[in-house]
Amino acid sequence: MTTAAAWAKKNLFGSPANTVLTLLGLALLWQVVPPFVGWALIHASWGAGTPESCRQAGGACWTLLAERHRLMLFGLYPYEQHWRPFLAMLLFVALLAISSQRRCWRPWLGALWAAAVVLIGVLMWGGVLGLATVETAQWGGLPLTLVIAVLAIVIAFPMSIVLALGRRSQLPAIKAVSVGYIELVRGLPLVSVLFMASVMFPLFLPEGITIDKALRALVGMTLFTAAYLAEAVRGGLQAIPKGQFEAADALGLGYWQTMRLIILPQALRLVIPPIVNQFITCFKDTSLVTIVGLYDLLAATKASLNDPAWRPFFVEGYLAAALVYFCFCFFMSRYSQWLERELAKGSR
């Protein structure tokens, strides 16, 4: 107890200014924490119920989640088919868990991804194996967010490496194309890229040919993310000393061998923080697909609050959606920190 008191005296009440700040902080906490706990826990209504029962309880209406979570999670997907996006979601999470293990970084992982994507596609889309067809326009909620975010990241990452290498290429044509692409896309807001993908792009297609709306949004997200990632990767390439290229040249390694075996493993390790930054941004930016009429997690949450009876409880709905976003983003952030430590083992 004396150590705690000594610690408090030293760190909280060390000087008059510190004492004032400590007291102010405590007052603020006293203002904020008890009311929040009262609202979120003590007076909250849990489990099944109605908007009426919530109003009588007076606190947070977690009943909203109990009653409306299916709509929030799966959007417009046909109600009796919800087990399909649910399974798809589990598959995604399992796939990510497997991919995050270093000992699984083997060639078969690529095959696993291909198989999983096909399986998820079959589950979501249906039309075979006796599954009813569900158009992508009816997809929604967390599975849609995951499909767009994960596929955009997975496709954009290799694209960005090619773009970054292209931008540093000695060949003028390749360099010009890479620079042009990166600068053009970076000069546009994501919203306009999505609009172009969904509104303008179909105008250029011959009549009668339509490309799926979700696919167009996915392509838009991918193209956008690749341009930003390319610049992060290029930063890593530039940090590699010239001597590494020379040593590879002197040993007779070709361009692609040098890049694949010597330069990229070092460069990518250096730029894990900005790369993961971009992954997180991409994940959250999927909420913008709502402007082209897709119901991602956030849009589905909003839709579930359309019922006037539930609308007063929008705070609870958005808090729940925020928590889901936070879980995924926080996982990515922690994982990147672990990855940096793991890859730095021994080498320095």
Partner 1 sequence: MTAAAPIIELRDVNKWYGEFHVLKDVTLEVAKGEKVVVCGPSGSGKSTMIRCINRLEEHQSGRIVVDGIALGDDLKAIDAVRRRVGMVFQSFNLFPHLTVLENLTLAPVKVAGIAPKDAQATAMALLERVRIPEQASKFPGQLSGGQQQRVAIARALCLKPAVMLFDEPTSALDPEMVGEVLDVMSSLAAEGMTMICVTHEMAFARAVADTMVFMDEGRVVEIAPPSQFFDSPANERTRRFLGKIIGK
Beta bridge partners of 45: 61
| The one among 98, 211, 215, 247 contacting partner 1 by CB under 8 A | 247
Q: Is 16 in the site for partner 1 (CB under 8 A)?
A: no
Whichever of 255 and 335 has its CB closer to partner 1, that residue is: 255
Among residues 130 and 252, whose Cβ is nearest to partner 1? 252
Work out which of 252, 306, 323, 341 binds partner 1, going by CB under 8 A: 252
**Cα separation of 117 and 115, whole Å?**
6
Distance from C-alpha of 99 to C-alpha of 105, rounded to nearest angstrom:
7
Q: Contact between 102 and partner 1 (CB under 8 A)? A: no
Considering only the stretches 73-81, 170-178, 237-245, 329-337, report the one whose residues sit in contact with partner 1 under the rule CB under 8 A: 237-245
3 state DSSP class of 171: coil
By CB under 8 A, the residues from 168 to 207 that bind partner 1 are none
The DSSP line for 164-210 is HHHHT-SSHHHHHHHHHHHHHHHTS-HHHHHHIIIIIHHHTSPTT--
DSSP-derived 3-state class of residue 64: helix
- Smallest distance from the beta carbon of 246 to partner 1, in angstroms? 5
Told to check if 130 binds partner 1 by CB under 8 A, we report no
Q: 81, 169, 244, 281: which one contacts partner 1 (CB under 8 A)? A: 244
Nearer to partner 1, 103 or 323 (CB): 103
By beta-carbon proximity to partner 1, the closer residue of 270 and 288 is 270
Question: What minimum distance in Å lies between the beta carbon of 178 and partner 1?
Answer: 23
Other C-beta atoms closer than 10 Å to the C-beta of 27 total: 10
Tokens at 208, concatenated: 């009668």
C-beta separation of 126 from 84 below 8 A: yes
Q: Return the number of other C-beta atoms located less than 10 Å from residue 216's C-beta.
A: 22
State yes or no: residue 339 binds partner 1 (CB under 8 A).
no
Q: Measured from the CB of residue 260, what is the shortest distance to partner 1 in angstroms? A: 9
| Residue 348 touching partner 1 (CB under 8 A) | yes
Q: 282: closest CA among 230, 321, 229, 327? A: 229
Max intra-chain CA distance, the chain? 81
Residue type, 78: P
| Amino acid, single-letter form, for residue 177 | V
- Applying CB under 8 A, among 246, 293, 315, 342 the residue interacting with partner 1 is 246
Measured from the Cβ of residue 207, the count of other Cβ atoms closer than 10 Å reads: 5
Our finding on whether 261 is near partner 1 (CB under 8 A) is yes
The answer to whether 243 contacts partner 1 (rule: CB under 8 A) is: yes
Question: Under the criterion CB under 8 A, does residue 253 sit at the interface with partner 1?
Answer: yes
Candidates 64-72, 144-152, 246-254, 272-280 — which segment interacts with partner 1 by CB under 8 A?
246-254
Q: Please give the C-alpha separations between residue 186 and each of 3, 177, 193, 274, 287, in angstroms, as whole numbers.
A: 55, 14, 10, 16, 19
Stretch that binds partner 1, among 81-89, 204-212, 253-261, 294-302 (CB under 8 A): 253-261
Give the separation between CA 319 and CA 342, rounded to whole angstroms.
34
> What letter represents residue 42's amino acid?
I
Applying CB under 8 A, which of residues 15, 101, 133, 347 lies at the interface with partner 1? 347
Query: Which residues of the chain form contacts with partner 1 (CB under 8 A)?
Result: 241, 243-244, 246-247, 249-253, 257, 261-262, 265-266, 269, 346-348
